[in-house]
Amino acid sequence: MSPNHPHYPPLKRTTTPVQAGPSSGFARLQCLRGAAAALAAVVALALGPGGAGSTARADEPEAPAVEGFRPMEDQPLEIGLVAERARVRPGETFRVGIDIVPEEGFHTYWKAPGIVGIPTAIDWELPEGWVAGEIEWPAPEVVMMGPYPAHGYHGPVLLPIAITVPDDALQGLVTLAGDARWMCCAATCHPGFRRLELSVEVVADVGEEAADGGGSADDALTERFAEARAARPQPARGFEFTAERDAATVTIVIRGTGEEGIDATPVADLDGLRFFCDSNLIRSDEPQVAELQEDGSLRLKLVASAFGPEDADQLGGVFEAPGGWYLDQREQPVRHIEVRMPLPPPSPL
């Protein structure tokens, strides 16, 4: 059962099994298609035969069963919206967060899940003039959807989103709403969706205590938003990233530029080095082979994915180095950096 979260009502659980099988591309594709079919079935069941707001008549036949899709007692997560501040002023930007608390052993997905999975998303319906930014994703982890490595988050995660209040916003309570969708997986996968709502108060002035966090919903939420900001990958400094490409592989070459005092090996060691591609150009289920060169540069060989955009001319994502990236010799190394580089057309094999 899901943890008993005081703010979020229980969710119906829908599941599609993930079974170990041949490590062929066809098997992986079938796994992905099964997850997508399950999500489509969730939507269809929620809307009913006539679409949004309709109800089935007693004399109508039941919808055919979807293979690998069966309702269960509840979803293996709790999900809702939280705000870093309960009171906001006209013209300012603050953050709300999609707050996800899965059951132990379950995970959700990053913006680019890899070979399998569906990212968490929300389609906003905001008052006129209010503007929502993109999800500010924390650095991802390797998660296992059955036998397949993917990109996501183990355990609870807060996904912050910047909301800008219009200059002419009227004082009083305002409801922020959106339709969220997600997939939560372990040995089985549970796609779902829910209407999320949150109220904040627009005031002329949040008070003098605002400089010390006044208007915060509570101290625990303030700390969680701070932790979410700290979990974001840092921009890479002092490095040059270039990509080489053929029909089957992409190789990233990393060199120190001499800036910030970096002119040698960029990481403390190669153990656990991983690239999380943000456009699904790279297969998440294949080994990533790192080789240190004599000049201190690093080559990381990756397997190209057949599911990535065909006309991509940029390669971006998050690099994880458990031993740390030395962005500045005067500072402690950081675990995650965000990178983007030109991607040339594939060269002949």
What is the pLDDT, as a whole number, of residue 294?
82
Residue 323 has a pLDDT of 79
Q: Is the pLDDT at 171 greater than 90, yes or no?
A: yes
Compute and round to an integer the Cα radius of gyration of the chain.
23
Kindly give, in sequence order, each residue whose CB lies less than 8 Å from that of residue 17, ignoring residues fewer than 6 positions away: 68, 187, 188, 189
Collapsed DSSP state (helix, strand, coil) of residue 220: helix
Per-residue pLDDT tens digits for 104-163: 999 999 999 999 999 999 999 999 999 999 999 999 999 998 889 999 999 999 999 999
Nearest Cα to 145, choosing from 51, 19, 262, 268? Answer: 19
Q: How far apart are CA 209 and CA 221, in angstroms?
A: 17
Q: What is the pLDDT of residues 208-267, one digit of tens each?
A: 444 344 455 678 899 999 999 999 999 988 788 999 999 899 999 988 776 654 444 556
Q: Which of 230, 257, 282 is the last residue of a domain?
A: 230
Q: CB neighbours of 4 closer than 8 A, spacing ≥ 6?
A: none
The yes-or-no verdict on residue 50 having pLDDT over 90 is no
What integer pLDDT is reported at residue 68 of this predicted model?
Answer: 30
| Domain shared by 52 and 189, yes or no | yes
- The enclosing domain of 295 has a CATH number of 2.60.40
Inform me whether the pLDDT recorded for 62 exceeds 80. Answer: no
Confidence grade of residue 53 (pLDDT, cut at 50, 70, 90): very low
For the chain, the distance separating the N- and C-terminal CA atoms, rounded to the nearest angstrom, is 52
pLDDT at 330: 58
Query: Which of 98-107, 199-208, 255-264 shows the lowest per-residue confidence on average (mean pLDDT)?
Result: 255-264
Same-domain pairing of 160 and 295? no
Can you give the pLDDT at residue 187? 86
pLDDT at residue 172 above 90?
Answer: yes
Q: Which of 196, 230, 264 is the last residue of a domain?
A: 230
Highest mean pLDDT (candidates 23-37, 138-152, 202-216, 291-305)? 138-152
pLDDT over 50 (residue 276)? yes
- 140 is a domain residue: yes
Cα–Cα dist 9/221, whole Å: 19
For residue 306, give its domain range: 234-342
**Residue 245 and residue 171 share a domain:** no
Contact call for residues 150 and 115 (beta carbons, < 8 A): yes
For residues 1 and 146, the model is more confident at 146
Query: End of a domain among 183, 198, 230?
Result: 230
Whether 33 is in a domain gets the answer: yes
Averaged pLDDT, 31-37: 45
Instruction: Please check the confidence at residue 77 and state whether its pLDDT lies above 70.
Output: yes
